[in-house]
Amino acid sequence: MKILTIPSKKSEKILTDGVILGIQNLSVNMPFYISIEDLNEYKKLKEEGKKVFIMLNKNMHNKDLESLKKTMLELEKYPIDGVFYYDISIVRLKKELQITYPLIWSQEHLTTNAGTCNFWASHGVKGTYLSSEITLEEIKEIRKNTDVSLFVNVFGYLPMFDSKRHLVKNYLECFGLEENGNLYYLEKEGKTYPIIDDNNGTVVYSAHILNAITEILELERMGIEYAILNSFLIEENVFCQIVSLLQNLTEGNKEQVESSVNELCRQNVDKGFLYTETIYKIKGEKE
């Protein structure tokens, strides 16, 4: 299994097996965005045998298509390992533009079953970035029923909401309050949720940090190809220590690792939905 990092800033040293990077104006939910030219800085990672993936997960409007086409073609010039997509235009454009790098289905909360992984596989898609709202058992079930490479979040704040609307900026404007950067927080019932309002719109993140570091062992046994760590809003030295802990993770020390990661994250952690099934129907009504 390979471990990938979504770094929190350009200069971050990549201690894992590879990175996922966002591109200006074509990606969302990423800690920072680079230009295509900036990819040159990541070429040395490839020389070190590391993976470089690109996240193109914005909901594309007509006006984005020209820039998207240009970017997809430009990316052919770089030794990238694949592009994550949300918008379906990318699948069609890959064919039309005869793009050779692989695509990874990344519709965030909708990547929840093997049948759809296989649908995209029939269109040449090589991988799926699984939803964080499914259980470990469901991940296992998907693994059994599809051959595409699977990517699973194991660490970091998780995106919960993505809007085209500028919800914070609009609120501040409405009440004559001063804007102060893009990062804000929402508080509710003792929990604090990061909220970003930038050029793309508004994104809200989970209150707790997903800590599924020790589940990496189980995911590896299942045959999951990639685990993803997101260092967004995590202090650099804390993140480095967490990566170091997971690189030395074994069955024998997993409880100690679990506890150390929790401590490094000041206990602001949970297991997401790995062991918690969300409710589908509220009423046990008609059959």
Partner 1 sequence: MNKPELLAPAGSLEKLKFALLYGADAVYLGGTMFGLRANASNFTLKELKEGVEFAHNLHKKVYVTVNIALHTSELNALTNYLKELDQIGIDAIIISDPAIISLAKENTNLELHLSTQQSTLNYEAVKFWKEEGITRIVLGRETTSEEIMEIKKHVDIEIECFIHGAMCASYSGRCVLSNFLTARDSNRGGCSQICRWDFDLLDKGGKALIGEKPFTFCTKDLSLLAYIPDMIDIGITSFKIEGRMRSIYYIATVVDIYRKVIDEYMQQKENYEYNKEYEKVLANCANRDSVPQFFDGSEGVECQYYNGRVEISNQDFLGLILDYQDGYAVIEERNYFKVGDMVEFFGPNIDTFQMKIEEIIDETGETIDIVRHPKQVVKVKVNKPLYPNDFMRIKK
Question: Cβ atoms within 10 A of the Cβ of 150, count?
Answer: 25
Q: Is 43 in the site for partner 1 (CB under 8 A)?
A: no
Candidates 35, 164, 223, 263; binder of partner 1 (CB under 8 A) is 164
Contact between 68 and 89 (Cβ < 8 Å):
yes
Main-chain phi, psi angles of 98, to 5 degrees = 55, 45
Q: Which residues of 257-275 are buried (b: 16+ CB within 10 A; e: fewer)?
A: bbebbbebbeeebbebbbe
The least CB distance from residue 159 to partner 1, in Å, is 8
The least CB distance from residue 221 to partner 1, in Å, is 19
Sign for the pseudo-dihedral over CA of 130, 192, 203, 36:
negative
Pick the closer one to partner 1 by CB: 110 or 247.
110
Q: How far apart are CA 57 and CA 214, in angstroms?
A: 28
Candidates 52, 99, 142, 243; binder of partner 1 (CB under 8 A) is 142
Q: Is 27 in the site for partner 1 (CB under 8 A)?
A: no
Q: How far apart are CA 6 and CA 21, in angstroms?
A: 7
Question: Cβ atoms within 10 A of the Cβ of 35, count?
Answer: 12
The least CB distance from residue 22 to partner 1, in Å, is 16
CA 223 to chain centre: 19
Q: Is 62 in the site for partner 1 (CB under 8 A)?
A: yes
Candidates 16, 71, 107, 153; binder of partner 1 (CB under 8 A) is 107
Q: Is 250 in the site for partner 1 (CB under 8 A)?
A: no
Candidates 11, 77, 98, 174; binder of partner 1 (CB under 8 A) is 174
CA 187 to chain centre: 24
Contact between 219 and 139 (Cβ < 8 Å):
yes
Candidates 81, 133, 215, 258; binder of partner 1 (CB under 8 A) is 133
The least CB distance from residue 197 to partner 1, in Å, is 10
Q: Is 67 in the site for partner 1 (CB under 8 A)?
A: no
The least CB distance from residue 249 to partner 1, in Å, is 27
**DSSP H or E run through 82:** strand 82-85
Contact between 129 and 82 (Cβ < 8 Å):
no
The least CB distance from residue 186 to partner 1, in Å, is 4
Q: Is 287 in the site for partner 1 (CB under 8 A)?
A: yes
Report the site for partner 1 in 78-97 (rule: CB under 8 A). 87-89, 91-93
176-215 mask for partner 1 (x: CB under 8 A)?
A: -x--xx-xxxxxx---xx-x--------x-xx--------
CA 36 to chain centre: 20
